[in-house]
Amino acid sequence: MQRLLFLGILLGWTTVQGQVAQKLATAMDAFNADAQLKYALSSLYVVDAATGDIVYDQNSKVGMATASTEKIVTAATAFDVLGAGYRYETRFGIVKTPGGKSLYIEPSGDPSLASWRWPETKDSAFLARLKAALQAEGIRELRNVVIYTGKWGDETIPEGWIWQDLGNYYGAGAQALNWRENQFDLVLKSGAALGSAVSVVKTVPYLYDYRITSLATAAEKNSGDNSTLFYPSMGRQTGVLRGTIPAGQNGFVVSGSIYDPANQFVKTVINSLKSTVRFSGNVVTTTNKEAKEVHWFYTNSSPELSKIIYWFLRKSINLYGEALLRTVGLNRKGMATTDNGIAAVQEHWKTRGVDVDELHLYDGSGLSPQNRITTRAQVAILKYAREQSWFADYYEGFPLYNDMKMKSGTINRVKGFSGYQKSKDGKDYIFSFLVNNYNGSQLALVRKMYKVLDELK
């Protein structure tokens, strides 16, 4: 009797799965026939979360540009390699240098230093702790600031990122020392007439040694932000704003990336400490030679990795992805480079059954249009994550779109959604849906993708 009951339940689930597969096939036939997909490539892969059985497969073995859906790979790798409780530590010490003692900093690539996302990481909270630590040591005068980049090197951005992205907030790369998520707000004023000039009011925070020139103009009042911040050449601390913002604005805000966050950090520290500590040299030096005699007096710790990954997935912060990737590279290869991070990611998932040829990576965030990952690999990693002790933290970070827990991805002519869904019948599914080179409106495409994914509800 029990065996018959079990077979009945199994047959029922099989019937439900077959119905879902048929509904997905019908929905995808309509999707593929749509004019927006005339010159596009689409891949949808769906499996039963409990068994791994394939529910639907279209082009699951074809490498696709992923945009930010790649973040699910980076996050899962970081959880597995570093651990949910991992914390970045930035150490501060005093060293002897010509002319006197200097502040010595050993950064860890912490992407949360001075982030506004946690009360304890805000710049004001951090600066107060550092000031108190210096006062406790009785330090009244220092010569310069020395930053040991050591195992992080001088890499600023991954290969494969396009020039137009680098000046914008989402184009901020991870470095040994990151500050305020390596971004700033540019406050703008536009004239009332169409085509009138847009002027820079201020930056928040104040940018040391930076100059931003606006060549932007005013457009229709409801046109939104169509501006782009460019750096004319790497290494020059200047920026040029081009494009348009709406007319008649007095405090319109766009966000840019800080090219040299270490300099911004040090100048901010020096300015904040001027009432208690005098810097006679006021020079910032980075070095890959580790000091042998350091009097360490303060260590700043980041939030736990689980909290960092929450924001990484929830708000799709590219900086966090690059920091995590390089940290994994440091952990597994001894140097915090993007290449080491990529190699470590590929090796990690190879040992867990994912073919490395399904993971062609150029970064950790998905901003590079050269990334190619199969939907099959993404689903395999999502399924693996579901079985790990850190899954609850991982899952919590996934945004809710279309009433579904899934990570989205968007770059030029690329849209994707990857995640988890429980149907009204109690069935759990894991899916990855990527579209490359679509035509027309992104909003219209998203609605059509939602219509397909609704079959999993």
The C-alpha atoms of residue 425 and residue 325 are separated, in whole angstroms, by 38
Token digits for 20? 């879902």
Query: What is the mean pLDDT of each successive set of 10 residues along the chain, which is 457 residues long?
Result: 42 67 97 98 98 97 98 98 98 94 96 98 98 96 94 90 93 96 97 96 94 95 93 72 96 94 94 93 85 96 98 98 98 98 98 97 98 98 98 98 98 98 96 98 98 98
Strand, helix or coil for residue 270: helix
Q: In Å, how far are 99, 165, 256, 272, 384 from 173, measured between CA atoms? A: 34, 11, 12, 25, 29
pTM above 0.85, yes or no: yes
Q: What are phi and psi of 37, to 5 degrees?
A: -105, 15
Q: Is 153 exposed, middle or buried (0-12, 13-18, 19+ CB in 10 A)?
A: middle
pLDDT at 235: 57
Domain 15-84+305-456 has CATH 3.40.710.10: yes
pLDDT at 392: 98
pLDDT at 283: 77
The C-alpha atoms of residue 432 and residue 421 are separated, in whole angstroms, by 11
**Alpha helix (H) residue ranges in 96-167:** 123-136, 163-166
Which residue is listed with tokens 């030679």? 289
Residues of the chain with CATH 3.40.710.10: 15-84+305-456
User: What tens digit of pLDDT does each residue of 80-120 get?
Assistant: 999 999 999 999 999 999 989 999 999 999 999 999 999 99
**Residues listed for the chain:** 457
The C-alpha atoms of residue 190 and residue 188 are separated, in whole angstroms, by 7
Radius of gyration of the CA atoms of the chain, in A:
25
Contact 403, 420 (CB under 8 A): no
pLDDT at 231: 80
Q: What are phi and psi of 70, to 5 degrees?
A: -60, -25
